[in-house]
């Protein structure tokens, strides 16, 4: 608190990102980063762009990137919006598409940035409880609303909502925007982008931070009807006309073009996930079914916070949330095989 703060700043409750400790040799399984590097072709494209052209502003419309994304998903360029990480894209979504008279709906256990954006942009919201199996039941969203947003797969549970359930929601809910946050969809989900032509109220967001291993570059995107995209462009051009730098535009476009590397690394993460789930189950953990690059697990006899602290003493960092209903759980990012082995070794010691 400072005397220079406005009442608005004083009342904000900011998001707390997973920590980025500056300690060497950590087994860092707390922020869902990809254990494999980005596409070598993306790195080469960025190296080639590291030249005197940096004196010039980037293309404010990031056309090269929008075209690469449009080609990848078989949509028109006017269906594509890009921003500085999907967190920025989501901020514009809350500001431009979800701020209406009625409260918006999202799950009670979900991405903890959603209520933060509601606070920042003055969006009222109602949280809808996950069912007893920690699943999103979209039938519970059949109520008047100013918009609906949920991650698919959900975070931090990792549980996938089937596309058929999303389509029936879209058939019922036609008067407000439905946002599907697909940050983790490439690790076993089916994208809702195939539905955007049919449902003008559907907006799908994605990020290059997880499946394309470019968290450090900060690139995210949204795909939807051109009217929704235009709303985001209006917000963006009232905020920052150049959210993506030259490196981000060429690197992200090259990452979308390199489908082979993308497929191989996603597959490797999925295989490691299935192996790790098996090992955790044999150690007595209950693991929720994950379609993401992380798993959400609890040990019936151990407190989540205590386990996280004991792992930390062994240089393994996982994420623990001090929220009702999930206090016992740990969210564990799928690492490289040797990192996952180190986690299992540490857990064997601790248990
Ligand atoms: C990681 C994540 C994002 C944001 O990713 P960016 O790095 O900002 O692109 C958005 N939604 C969910 C659910 C996430 O887990």
Q: Which of 218, 238, 257 is the C-terminal boundary of a domain? A: 257
Count up the domains in the chain and report the number.
Answer: 2
Task: Indicate the top mutation candidate among 109, 155, 182 to test ligand 1's pocket, ranked by most ligand atoms within 8 A of CB.
Answer: 155
The residue whose C-alpha atom lies closest to atom 5 belonging to ligand 1 is 86
> Residue 197: pLDDT above 90?
yes
**Predicted pLDDT of residue 18:** 79
Instruction: Report the distance separating Cα 83 and Cα 32, nearest Å.
Output: 20
**Predicted pLDDT of residue 25:** 83
| 24-79 per-position pLDDT tens digit | 789 999 999 999 999 999 999 999 999 999 999 999 999 999 999 999 999 999 99
Pure H helices in the chain: 7-11, 40-48, 63-73, 85-96, 113-121, 163-172, 226-236, 246-257, 259-282, 304-313, 337-350
Domain of residue 274, CATH code: 3.90.1150.10
> Residue 17: pLDDT above 90?
no
| Domain coverage including residue 309 | 19-37+260-350
> Residue 293: pLDDT above 80?
yes
Q: Which of 257, 291, 326 is the C-terminal boundary of a domain? A: 257
**Predicted pLDDT of residue 129:** 98
Task: State the chain's mean pLDDT as an integer.
Answer: 97
Ligand 1 centroid from CA 183, angstroms? 6
Task: Tell me, yes or no, whether 223 and 337 share the same domain.
Answer: no
Atom of ligand 1 nearest to the CA of 86: 9
83 lines ligand 1 (CB under 6 A): no
| 135-158 per-position pLDDT tens digit | 999 999 999 999 999 999 999 999
Question: How much of the chain exceeds pLDDT 90, in percent?
Answer: 96
182 lines ligand 1 (CB under 6 A): no
Task: Tell me, yes or no, whether 136 and 170 share the same domain.
Answer: yes
Q: Which residues of 188-211 are buried (b: 16+ CB within 10 A; e: fewer)?
A: bbebbbebbeebebbbbbbbbbbb
209 lines ligand 1 (CB under 6 A): yes
Question: How much of the chain exceeds pLDDT 70, in percent?
Answer: 100
Q: Would you say residue 14 lies in a domain? A: no
Q: Would you say residue 143 lies in a domain? A: yes
252 lines ligand 1 (CB under 6 A): no
**Predicted pLDDT of residue 155:** 97
Domain of residue 224, CATH code: 3.40.640.10
Q: Would you say residue 11 lies in a domain? A: no
**Predicted pLDDT of residue 22:** 79
Q: Would you say residue 86 lies in a domain? A: yes
26 lines ligand 1 (CB under 6 A): no
């Amino acid at each position: 608190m400072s005397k220079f703060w406005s009442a608005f700043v004083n009342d904000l409750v900011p998001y707390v990102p997973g920590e980025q400790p500056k300690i060497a040799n950590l087994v860092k399984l707390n922020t869902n980063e990809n254990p494999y590097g980005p596409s070598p072709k993306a790195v080469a494209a960025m190296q080639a762009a590291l030249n005197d052209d940096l004196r010039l502003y980037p293309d404010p419309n990031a056309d090269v990137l929008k075209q690469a994304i449009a080609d990848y998903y078989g949509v028109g360029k006017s269906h594509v919006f890009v921003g500085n990480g999907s967190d920025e894209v989501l901020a514009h979504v809350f500001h431009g598409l979800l701020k209406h008279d009625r409260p918006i709906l999202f799950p009670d256990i979900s991405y903890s940035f959603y209520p933060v954006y509601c606070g920042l942009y003055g969006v009222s919201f109602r949280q809808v409880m996950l069912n007893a199996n920690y699943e999103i039941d979209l039938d519970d969203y059949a109520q008047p609303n100013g918009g609906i947003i949920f991650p698919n797969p959900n975070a931090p549970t990792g549980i996938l909502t089937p596309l058929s359930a999303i389509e029936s929601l879209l058939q019922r809910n036609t008067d407000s925007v439905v946002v599907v946050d697909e940050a983790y969809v490439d690790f076993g989900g089916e994208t809702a982008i195939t539905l955007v032509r049919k449902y003008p109220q559907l907006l799908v967001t994605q990020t290059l931070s997880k499946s394309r291993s470019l968290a450090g570059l900060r690139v995210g995107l949204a795909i939807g009807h051109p009217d929704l995209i235009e709303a985001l462009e209006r917000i963006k051009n009232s905020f920052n006309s150049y959210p993506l730098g030259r490196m981000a535009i060429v690197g992200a476009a090259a990452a979308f073009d390199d489908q082979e590397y993308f497929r191989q690394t996603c597959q490797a993460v999925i295989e490691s996930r299935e192996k790790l789930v098996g090992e955790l189950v044999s150690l007595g953990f209950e693991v929720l079914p994950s379609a993401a690059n992380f798993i959400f697990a609890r040990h019936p006899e151990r407190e989540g916070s205590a386990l996280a602290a004991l792992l930390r003493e062994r240089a393994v960092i996982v994420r623990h949330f001090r929220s009702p209903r999930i206090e016992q759980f740990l969210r564990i990012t799928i690492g490289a095989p040797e990192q996952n082995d180190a986690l299992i070794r540490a857990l064997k010691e601790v248990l």
